Structure 1
Amino acid sequence: MGKRNERGLLTLLVCLVLGAGLLAAVLGASRLGGPQRAAADGAGGSVDLREVPPGPAEPLAAGPDASTGTVTVDCGRNEERHFNEDNLVVSPGLRAGAHHTHAYVGNLSADAQSTDASLAAAATSCRGGDRSTYYWPVLRRPDRAGTRPYERAAGHGNTGEILPEASVAVEFRGNPASKVVPMPRFLRAVTGDAMAGTARSDADVRARWGCSGLPDRSTTHYPRCPEGDRVTRTLVFPSCWNGLDGDSPNHRSHLVFPAPNGVCPKDTFPVPQLRIRLAYDVAPGVPLAVDSFPEQRHSPRTDHAMFVNAMTDAQMAAVVDCLNGGRTCRT
């Protein structure tokens, strides 16, 4: 009987150990952050946007110093097919440093080798002469093979037909709490976190996916939109400048986001807030994959964009004057 009891006790102990291991695995998979989230949010992960509650409203203009204007910069929708795997802001001088493909509007020369002088002298797709560069990772259909050279250039798991933007809206807005001051020429800016799929923090995640017919809702997943709606990406940039630097070692510290009410942190100054809104004609059920680093597995949370301000001082002064004057302008 003693040996039988020992065997029973041993069996119970083994079951408890196995059960604890299974519980740990389940809890680990459910945690936010890390590769598990990248797998869940990869090319197959999506949500019906009609089931997503409306997001918080934009902060209302408060007080007489609010800058309530808007400036739309007409730069087309990359009809020139300006693509490369470079990242002028994050990896200057390094060819194919992004390991994925970016699409551009604005400056037609922008690549890893660009300098302030080359940007200032280049042609632009912007009708009003703005030579700034605005760029973001392409969106693909992974169920269709890419046939054009620029669709096959990136590699690193970024394959499939690149979806063309049906529209690209480049807009600058003011600040709901105060007047804005000019951005310095050749200011560099980043929004979003290209490493968000495996990051331990959501601090830099700015992905806002949506549907054209549901403008008050957004998600960090790929959206499933009602028939006839376009899939949208809204990329909002930080707009509180430290007053000193055109860039910083992490490409973020010199230009940060305001508080939810629009107030900038101490020792920073409000500058025009850049927003890029992209829209795509995508039939219901079509799979989507944003270009990413290989380990990010096309997580929609990694959506990001970059900007280099190459406006002349006069052009920037006109933007600031429009925003602070509360007007609606177009260039």
Structure 2
Amino acid sequence: MGRNTRKRRTPLATKAIAASAALALGGGGLIWANFYASAHEPNNQTWGGNSTKAATAQVATISCPDVGQKLTNVPWRARQGVATELANLDKQITEAYNRLASTRQSQTNDPSFVQNAIVGPLKDKRAATIDRIRMDIQRVGGSFNSALNQLAACTTQSANQTTAGGQQQNGGQQQNTGGQQQNGGQQQGNAGQQQNIGGQAGNGPVAADFVDITKVAPNVQGKPRQTGNGSNGVFITRCGVNANKNHNTDNVIVAPGVTNGAHHLHDYVGNQKVNAFASNQTFLQGGTSCQNSNDLSSYYWPVVRVQDGSQDFDQNADGGGKEGNVGKILTPVKAQIKYVGSPVSKVVAMPQFLRIITGDAKTTTNGLANANAHWSCTGFENKVQLTTQYPICPQGSQVVRTFAFQSCWDGQNIDSANHRTHVAFPDPASGVCGNGFKAIPQLTMRLVYNITPPTLQNGQVKNAFAVDGFPEQLHKPATDHDDFISVTTGGLANKIANCINNGQRCA
């Protein structure tokens, strides 16, 4: 693998994206019902008369270039300052999206409102922040690519431009459908007035984000063939399901030292002292929820919520209800964490404090290049995996989220400026790590949830579930991601590698 920001997706993820994208088109010409009442249905409540509008022309969210992904060479002495400024960029986008969502009447009255009052000022703020990043880098002797200045400008996306529809691999387009769900799913609004983008908080998900898994054709591909040089052992670590509700909205990998740097809530298992201000020394003193006391690693992921009209403890908090992450938080009923080997080589032990992020929390606006979400149902995992849609599972089946982390390491760095280029996926066909990268134990995680299946009625989704995310990402399933920091004591890292290399099954 080359050292670049575009990771090679696993065959599972590639196939899942294509399959779920194709399925999304199956509904034909769908109406974006959450913005305007359909002319083919009687208007009621406060809509007042039949009103047909061009849904594709309406602004759904704000799309800003991801500056952090382009920063592949930041001197260590500048990284804290740069990380703080990158977090400021995220905060600025959040504030701009919230303004977008709260000014729908002004947008209806003035076609230039979004550009003049939201997108234009956002560009100015981003330009100043990018310039501070330049100063942070150059102050310590680093070089700054002036082309990054061009990333200040943001655009807007309509419903059929988000990754639930407009960025599909087959080139097709889809219009999202779904109504605002407030206290049981009542749709509200004024005739001709732009409304929310679905969901209990008005920022998703929508009906097009869900699919009946029983109607999806099998799409799971086989794995690379195991060779005699491979490592086929398995090491299992049992760390619980976060029953003690260890949560925060920080992100110590991407935004160290910044409170609410993630703008969404995480479940934490393993290390119990992880927040924005934690250091490597903190991790060593953090204690663990894992049965193996030598496993101090941090495993954390966005929470799943059911949008049934209920609220949780953070309904008035940053990263929670104040940023569109609403509904009842669901604790997994199972959280299975294991490390597996390479089909073609032995693995080397993970270095202490290695950081890995898998997936991309911003695929709605970034596109699917780094998407690595896997959604399925019990009884279907070996047949169907979805990336751009959530599954509606049949009676008696549970929702499953699966993560398979990057398993090739550059042999030198425990992190990189964009948190991606120090690790990579092996070639999906051969299983070989490229360009001098070394195979490490592959972390895999499987989270299982008891979720009452959502229902789709008249182009709307009721009792939807969704992952937490940045508010402008509209709670799309492809934004699912997982974070990991490797922290071990007592020689555990070597024990994991030896177990896998020897073909054993250890716990």
Unaligned runs of 5+ in 2: 1-53, 59-157, 168-173, 178-203, 455-462
**Residues 92-101 or 52-61, more deviating:** 52-61
The equivalent residue for 1:211 is 377
Deviations 1:164-203 (CA, angstroms, capped at 9, x unpaired) = 111101111100111100110000000001000111x421
Partner of 2:251: 87
Q: How far apart, in 1, do the equivalents of 2:259 and 2:277 lie?
A: 8
1:95: how far off?
0.8
Q: Would you say 1:165 and 2:319 are equivalent positions?
A: no
Whether the aligned pair in 2 keeps the contact of 1:71 and 1:319 (CA below 8 Å) is yes
Greater shift in the superposed pair: 310-319 or 158-167: 310-319
Q: Is 2:267 the counterpart of 1:103?
A: yes
TM score, norm. by length of structure 1? 0.86
- CA displacement at 1:278 relative to structure 2: 0.6
Structure 1 segments (4+ residues) deviating >4 Å: 28-39, 149-153
Match of 1:255 among 400, 423, 435: 423
Deviation at 1:208, TM superposition (A): 0.5
SS in structure 2 of the partner of residue 306 of structure 1? strand
Q: CA deviation at 1:33?
A: 4.4
Which residue among 125, 135, 141 is the counterpart of 2:300?
135
| Native 8 Å contact 1:82 1:104 kept in 2 | yes
Letter in 2 for 1:77: V
Residues 260 and 318 in structure 2, CA contact (< 8 A), matched pair in contact too: no
Match of 1:319 in 2: 496
1:246 equivalenced with 2:414 (yes/no): yes
| 2:400 and 2:448 in contact (8 A); partners too | yes
Task: Give the superposition deviation at 1:53.
Answer: 2.4
Measured in 1, the distance between the counterparts of 2:403 and 2:419 equals 16
Using the alignment, how far apart are the partners of 1:244 and 1:284 within structure 2? 46
Name the structure 2 match of 1:14. none
Question: Does residue 120 of structure 1 match 2:287?
Answer: no
Q: CA deviation at 1:141?
A: 1.0
Task: Quote the Cα distance in structure 2 between the aligned partners of 1:229 and 1:259.
Answer: 33
The SS at the match of 1:322 is: helix
Take 1:35 and 1:63, find their aligned partners in 2: how far apart are those partners? Answer: 40
Assess if the C-alpha contact under 8 Å between 1:66 and 1:178 holds in 2.
yes
Q: CA distance change for structure 1 residues 34 and 244 in 2, over 3 Å: closer, same or farther? A: same
Within the candidate set 449, 469, 485, 1:308 is matched to 485
Offset of 1:125 from its aligned partner? 0.1
1:278 partnered with 2:454: no
Question: In the superposition, relative to structure 1, how do residues 33 and 230 fare at CA in structure 2: closer, same or farther (>3 Å)?
Answer: closer
Q: Note if contact 2:252-2:278 (Cα within 8 Å) is conserved in structure 1.
A: yes
Q: Cα gap change, 1:284/1:32 in structure 2, threshold over 3 Å: closer, same or farther?
A: closer
* Residue number among 259, 268, 272 corresponding to 2:437 in the alignment: 268
CA contact (8 A) 1:185 1:312 kept: no
Contact 1:151/1:162 (<8 A) preserved: no
Cα distance change of structure 1 residues 126 and 151 upon mapping to structure 2, 3 Å threshold? farther
Match of 2:491, SS state, is helix
The alpha carbon displacement at 1:29 in A equals 6.5
Q: What is the deviation of 1:25?
A: 6.6
What SS does the corresponding residue of 1:146 show, helix, strand or coil? coil
Distance of aligned partners of 1:40 and 1:329 in 2 relative to their CA distance in 1, 3 Å threshold: farther
Same amino acid, percent of matched pairs: 38
> What is the TM-score with the length of structure 2 in the denominator?
0.57
Which one-letter code corresponds to 2:304 in the other structure?
L
**Count of paired positions:** 306
Q: Which runs of 5+ in 1 are unaligned?
A: 1-21
Counterpart in the other structure of 1:187: 354
CA distance in 2, matches of 1:76, 1:274: 16
